[in-house]
Amino acid sequence: MSAAGRLIFHSQRSIATSVQRSCAEAYALNEKLFGRGPERVVVVIAHSVAEWRRACRYYSFPLAKALVLHDGTLVLKSRALTGYSISNYHKVIIHEMNHVFWCALFRGRRNVWDPIWLVEGLACLVARNHYLLPLSVLKARMRRGRKLPLPYRYTGKILRLASRRELELYYSYWAHFAAWLCQGRLARLVAFTRAFAHRPTRMGYHQSFERFFGMSEKTARRIFAE
């Protein structure tokens, strides 16, 4: 089945062809990376803040332009609501579709969204999100003593406390670290996650990390920061 055939849209208004095409492209791109994808992806488009809140149900994160629910539903603010350009909106869709695939492929683990740095780092790399800082800027900030977290757990705390600016800094760190770790071969990050998904514990994570990347996470962080 074509990528477009796997998408089911829910929207109170008609959906621009460009958005439908964007979603299909995002599906195809992620299918290539993961090797396979979910049979069906439900995409809810919210045209107002009230619709957004209703669609997000238990989840509330005002800064988000889109998010993926635990059942894999992709909730998107309409482009008008985000104020984004077509190009940046397209990147948001690719990023979120990456989460949809992650959720479908690694569902059944104790917490499907662990480790957060890898979940977000990978999505940012695939989407090439517009808010990512250039590596040189990130390194300069790190040299000024910014101690950035590489969290294993996806706790609401990290996202709730952060400002947009801080989120961009974190996401940039996670994306650049992930890219450096896999030397740009994103499929390697997927293979690592697949291995770790068999033993989805903190210990399983650290052991898989050493096996895949030839060093401990702590060492990798130190070398990357140099």
- Binding characters for Zn ion, 119-138, by CB under 5 A (x = yes): -x--x---------------
- 3-state SS, one letter per residue, for the chain: CCCHHHEEEEECCCCCHHHHHHHHHHHHHHHHHHCCCCCCEEEEEECCHHHHHHHHCCCCCCCCCEEECCCCCEEEECHHHHCCCHHHHHHHHHHHHHHHHHHHHHCCCCCCCCCHHHHHHHHHHHHCCCCCCCHHHHHHHHHCCCCCCCCCCCCHHHHHHCCHHHHHHHHHHHHHHHHHHCCCCHHHHHHHHHHHHHCCCHHHHHHHHHHHHCCCHHHHHHHHHC
| Residue placing its CB nearer to Zn ion in the complex, 19 or 68 | 68
- Least distance from Zn ion to the Cβ atom of residue 127, Å: 9
- Binding characters for Zn ion, 149-168, by CB under 5 A (x = yes): --------------------
| Residue placing its CB nearer to Zn ion in the complex, 78 or 129 | 129
| Residue placing its CB nearer to Zn ion in the complex, 155 or 207 | 155
Compute how many residues bind Zn ion; rule: CB under 5 A: 2
| Residue placing its CB nearer to Zn ion in the complex, 51 or 120 | 120
- Binding characters for Zn ion, 80-119, by CB under 5 A (x = yes): ----------------------------------------
- What are the residues binding Zn ion (CB under 5 A)? 120, 123
